[in-house]
Amino acid sequence: MISLQEDLKDIRKLSRIITTIENRQKGYKDILRKCFYHSGKSKIIGITGPPGAGKSTLTSSLIGVLREEGSSVAVLAIDPSSSFSGGAILGDRIRMLDYSLDEKVYIRSAATRGAMGGLCVAASDIITVLDAAGFDYILVETVGVGQDEIDVVKETDTVLLVLVPGLGDDIQALKAGIMEIADIFVVNKSDREGSDNLVREIEYILSLTEHGKKWNTPIIKTVASKNEGIKELSIQIKKHFDFICSNSLILQKRKERFSLKFKRLVLEGLETKIKNGPLKGEEEEKLLESFIKKEQDPYTAAEEIVESFILEELQ
Ligand SMILES: Nc1nc2c(ncn2[C@@H]2O[C@H](COP(=O)(O)OP(=O)(O)OP(=O)(O)O)[C@@H](O)[C@H]2O)c(=O)[nH]1
Ligand SMILES: [Mg+2]
């Protein structure tokens, strides 16, 4: 482990290790097994919100404030599958270049995978590696407000939801699901008209749901492109972390994180087995023939296969 621990401190080696994890290359599980026992110390912050809200700009300013305090920071930017053109990603990289010479800052993008639950399996494992590498903060940027993003930010300690004035009716659509997972609201692009209206609208929505909650979800106005409001944001992030540590919430969050991770790993294992198993080549051909001839039905066959996998594991 000593050598792996040392490798994790070397940014170039860390990059190679993460690629191994991301692509599920030979030996990736052994690395993860070791990393797991050294993880659990980083503060993990999820940054989500609609496309173009300024998440990357905000992340970049936040790195600045956290570095001034002497903290080390890793960023995991999760690229949506739709942006294979690379425009947005390249844009992110350019802004993040400010930190390319800083050994205490590591920035990485992870591509969305098509496979069942694949995005989250890889993202969650990369977080484990970054955590074992000893970063004080891990900032996870996800684009969009869909179920995948919600799942990823569920794996974080503090969730920042970045909104901007001018969303109009969209905020109503956002209410379902995503509003509840925000620990801190960020009203970015506050240099634009309508930011106070947006703050009031969020306040109103919160007033409907916040009764009896111990954490008063703060709303922070920022102008990320001018580093305004970022210090206040970092103060609120720390307050939230202290809050979850002062009660059993952090344990609850970690349990939920492990529950999601564990289920996804089981699913991934089954998926791999199926890919290499009876749904391949000749075996699959036979199975399909038998459905066509009505010799058996696919419902029973699927059930039997799942059961046989489980039995095989138990033996
Ligand atoms: N006026 C103004 N523009 C901003 C502010 N913050 C970011 N921007 C600009 O908004 C644009 C989008 O910023 P990004 O940081 O790339 O936004 P993002 O949310 O990361 O975008 P995606 O990752 O593509 O979803 C850029 O042109 C920024 O310069 C702000 O506070 N005010
Ligand atoms: Mg971005």
- In a structure prediction context, what are the per-residue pLDDT tens digits for the chain, which is 315 residues long? 568 888 888 888 999 999 999 888 999 999 999 999 999 999 999 998 888 899 989 999 999 999 999 999 999 988 765 444 444 454 455 556 677 778 899 998 887 654 444 456 788 899 999 999 999 999 999 876 666 667 777 789 999 999 999 866 566 666 566 677 899 999 999 999 999 999 998 898 888 876 667 899 999 999 999 999 999 999 999 999 999 999 889 999 999 889 888 888 888 888 887 777 767 778 888 989 999 999 999 999 989 888 887 777 666
SS3 helix, strand, coil % of the chain, rounded to 5? 60, 15, 30
Ligand nearest to the CA of 222: 1
Verify whether ligand 1 is closer than 6 Å to residue 55 (CB atom): yes
Best residue for ligand 1 mutational test, from 139, 190, 225, 230 (most atoms within 8 Å of Cβ): 225
User: Measured on CA atoms in the order 125, 126, 132, 138, is the torsion positive or negative?
Assistant: negative
Q: Take atom 13 of ligand 1 and give the residue whose Cα is closest.
A: 54
The pTM (predicted TM-score) of the whole model is: 0.87
Ligand nearest to the CA of 223: 1
Distance from the CA of 215 to the center of ligand 2, in angstroms?
Answer: 28
Verify whether ligand 1 is closer than 6 Å to residue 50 (CB atom): no
In angstroms, rounded to a whole number, what is the distance separating the alpha carbons of residues 153 and 124?
Answer: 10
Query: Is 198 within 8 Å of 187 (Cβ atoms)?
Result: yes
- Helix, strand or coil for residue 105? strand
Q: Take atom 8 of ligand 1 and give the residue whose Cα is closest.
A: 54
